[in-house]
Amino acid sequence: MKAKLLCDAGEIIEGTEVEIASPAGKNGARSDKDGGGRSTTVAPVYEVTDDEGHGEKVDTRDLKPLS
């Protein structure tokens, strides 16, 4: 599945199209500064990669699926 990254995840910049690779755990620590905002619900984290080979672990609330 392809998605667009909504917030800076490190080496991958905001707005980059990424490929979702595999589940990588859960994220329960979110603040107002995060792309999806503060939440009391733990969300899945996925390993994503860009076309340049960068990989990051990203909370699903920071991804926007592409159609």
The domain spans of the chain are: 2-65
- What is this structure's pTM? 0.68
3-55 pLDDT per residue, tens: 888 887 788 888 899 998 888 888 777 677 776 677 777 788 899 999 998 99
Instruction: Count CB-CB contacts under 10 A for residue 56.
Output: 20
Q: How many CA atoms lie within 13 A of 10 on its CB side?
A: 11
- Predicted confidence at residue 18, as pLDDT, reads 92
Q: Are strands 43-49 and 17-27 parallel, antiparallel or unpaired?
A: antiparallel
> Is the torsion defined by CA of 39, 19, 64, 54 positive or negative?
positive
* Cβ atoms of residues 58 and 6 within 8 Å: no
